[in-house]
Amino acid sequence: MRIRFHPLLPLLFLAVGTLGAAPAGIVLSRLGDALTLLEKPAYSARCIMTTILTISDTKGKPEQTIELVERLIMEPGRELSRETLSRSIRSSSGLETDAGSSASRQGEGGTASGWKLIFPSGSDQAYFSFGLERREGAYLSCDFSPANPLPPGAPREGLTRGTITWDPVTGQPHRFSAIPVKNPQFTSEFSLEYVFAVSGGAAYPKSIHFKGEGGFLFIRRRFESISAITEFMRGADTP
């Protein structure tokens, strides 16, 4: 399962097994659905997503903070619809602008630049191996990394390693964290974490957190984006 990311921009758009085996297939299937909900929704839903993006210098001093509040509408087979409710930009010089709201719009469209990360779900599951399951309170978790050796035809770019945590009773994902095995061009650090909630028997990303550092030559910046999803309503529950 592959997701396209745009570093330095808000996301516009995440039973006990045998020893060393992958989590039960249903866990990885539900994880894939939750991670791609904002790109390829499997059901109708709407929510409010608040994203705070902070861009800092390499010493961690903030230079710009962007806060974006959007209403998202998801329909199977359609591009994600977004309505900007508010947007503000604060700079280190003290300047602040409020872009107000905008009309609804559809997805990103086109061929936006960016890079993809590959996660252990769907047809991409075959490219990964899984560590021992361990108990974390009420949850189970295991680490994943690229298979060694990789199967024939496996991609050489975008593979990740990280940790999956899930509810062993329901099979729903609880937390997912990952980093690239090889950082993309112009990116020296990158990590991401999803925390999930469940509505109507399906998981959705309650929070999405990614951070890293990148740049070109002597111009380098740190970035951190935290998105929170609230007022999540599914299908018949939506007004």
The pLDDT tens digits for 130-169 are 999 999 999 999 999 999 999 999 998 999 999 999 999 9
Tokens linked to 227: 């998105």
Residue 110's pLDDT is: 39
Specify the 3-state DSSP secondary structure of 31.
helix
Strands 115-118, 2-5: pairing is antiparallel
Residue 221 to residue 63: CA distance in whole angstroms = 9
Q: What does DSSP assign to residue 26?
A: H
Q: Which of 161, 22, 38 is nearest to 107 (CA)?
A: 38
User: DSSP letters of 150-202?
Assistant: PPTT--SSSBEEEEEEE-TTT--EEEEEEEESSPPTTEEEEEEEEEEEEETTE
Residue 33's pLDDT is: 93
In what helix (H) or strand (E) does residue 33 lie, and over which residues does it extend?
A: helix 25-35
Q: Is the model's pLDDT at 2 over the cut of 80?
A: no
Give the model's confidence band at 23: pLDDT under 50 very low, under 70 low, under 90 confident, else very high.
confident
pLDDT tens profile 194-226: 999 999 999 999 999 999 998 776 788 899 999
Residue 6's pLDDT is: 47
Please report, for the chain, the start and end positions of each structural domain, with discontinuous segments joined by +. Answer: 2-232
Task: Tell me what percent of the residues of the chain surpass a pLDDT of 70.
Answer: 80
Q: Which of 162, 178, 197, 192 is nearest to 34 (CA)?
A: 197
Better pLDDT: 5 or 64: 64
Provide the whole-model pTM. Answer: 0.83
pLDDT tens profile 81-135: 999 999 999 987 766 666 555 655 555 443 344 578 999 988 899 999 999 999 9
Residue 105's pLDDT is: 57
Residue 125 to residue 128: CA distance in whole angstroms = 6
